[in-house]
Amino acid sequence: MNEMNFAPFVIYPAIDLMRGQVVRLRQGDPKTPTIYSSDPAAVARRWLSAGVRWLHVVNLDGAFGERDDANQAGLLAILKEASQNKARVQFGGGLRSTESVERMLDLGVERVILGTIAIEESHILAQLISRFGPDRIAAGIDARQGIVQLRGWKESAPIQAVDLAKQLTAERVRWLVFTDVNRDGLGSGINIPACLELAKTSSANVIAAGGVKGPDDLIAARSAGLAGLIVGRALYEGSISIEDCL
């Protein structure tokens, strides 16, 4: 087993943006979003005022290759709230060029998450890590039954998640955001065994996402030695409180 770079455990409230609204999807299906707010800044303010130090923001329209002007405006509003509260933003979705990554970091995003580009153009990933450092460039591994998913989970890649994790850490990736697509948005509990497998076969800090059900998931993720947990629907619908998270 490789030596792991252990990081403090962090809870990341998720703010998923679609057409400028805060939503949650079930298993990544954009056809039936649950809309929680039309004011991303107010949602950010809610979590930040409770003491949250990180926010996880996703540009769903960008991930699906659609026009994302409204989401970009929402991100700017969230970044303003985060700056005022001395908090940080982790951002992903549709970042498929060096220019788009540079723009996000210039705007004030602390860490970007690269998915499709990290898999298909690993040389760009390596260049970005060399330029900005391994703590500002994370790789997203989204998997359905162990198989990596691309382009907003619309396509499958011919590689297992665990094998991709090994490849990415060879490229100096320090942070992996792992999502079990089959569990995402369903509240069926996080996939601890899959997360542990990634952590044990790589030297990366693993942040888990997909299927958080209740406080037991927070305890399980922390006890497993994961670096963090992204919480979405469970937080918005009250099966986990922000106090549980903190």
Which positions are catalytic?
16, 142
CB 85 within 8 A of CB 55: no
Q: Please tell me the distance from the alpha carbon of residue 162 to that of residue 58, in angstroms, as a whole number.
A: 23
Q: Are strands 21-26 and 10-18 parallel, antiparallel or unpaired?
A: antiparallel
- Neighbour-count burial of 223, counting CB atoms closer than 10 A to its CB (0-12 exposed, 13-18 middle, 19+ buried): exposed
- Neighbour-count burial of 49, counting CB atoms closer than 10 A to its CB (0-12 exposed, 13-18 middle, 19+ buried): exposed
Q: Please tell me the distance from the alpha carbon of residue 118 to that of residue 184, in angstroms, as a whole number.
A: 21
CA angle 92, 95, 98 (to 5 degrees): 130
